[in-house]
A and B are shown apart, each in its own frame.
Chain A
Amino acid sequence: MSETKKMPGKKTQMANITINIPKIYDRNIEKLKKLKIVPSRSEAVRLALKEFLQREYSRNLEILGFFQEEEESI
């Protein structure tokens, strides 16, 4: 897992990252591609991350008191 390069000249700066995912997840992403729910694997991961991070930052972390602990430790 490593960051390799940045792509300049685009509105949103993209980072190229390499990850390990179970084969079955990859097969299922292919399924979604066939159903035309997602255009590409990259887009699927971006969408997944977007939804996940939104959920985490807007609600879950607050419920867990994640930010409170951070403040206390400072």
Chain B
Amino acid sequence: MKIVTVNVPESYVDAIAKLTGDGGLYPSRSELIRNAVREFLLKELRLAKWLVARTQENDVEQELETWNKETEKELKEIDEKNLVRIPVDKKDENNEPIRAFKTYKIVRRLDSSITHDEEGIPGLSEEEINEIKKQQQALGLEYSAETEKYKPTSIDHQREMYPQTPDYKFINE
């Protein structure tokens, strides 16, 4: 062990005092600080090791090359069919409206048939689904062959059946 003297804000000393002593989680202030220093060292050294290994392995040029390749790949992956341009309200310096667009990528098509899936509804936990099922049962709306009628078979069919439901969702805004 080594004895060291350090300067710490008084608020820390008060906070530490609450965690030590009677009913505390640590036997002493030193023990708590040792614990804190240990966790800090492990985190920082792991990070430092990783950084050193990374800079030694890859030159800057190599890294740039891989970055270029990745962006190229990303650009290729963009499917024009999946992009939509939405007009936005924008005004120039003279406060006159100008034509501006924002481009969005369609990430997922909303499928209303998904609610009838046996596997479950995404975003809802099993308990919540069970709760919904209970409520449906109480109202006499049990799942039956009758509901099959309202289940669209394809996206085109779904659009036909529910023309007002949008079938796309944007990542941002």
Give A residues with C-beta under 8 Å from B: 1, 3-4, 6-7, 12-23, 25-26, 28-29, 31-32, 35, 37-38, 41-42, 44-53, 56-57, 64, 66, 69-70, 73
Contact = CB atoms under 8 A, between A and B. Distances in A.
Given A16-B7, A20-B3, A53 B30 contact: no
B40 A15 contact: no
B6 interface: yes
B13 A17 contact: yes
Q: Secondary structure of the B side of the interface? A: helix
Nearest to B41: A28
Given A3-B13, A32-B48, A53-B16, A19 B6 contact: yes
Nearest to A53: B15
Interface residues of B, number: 34
B86 interface: no
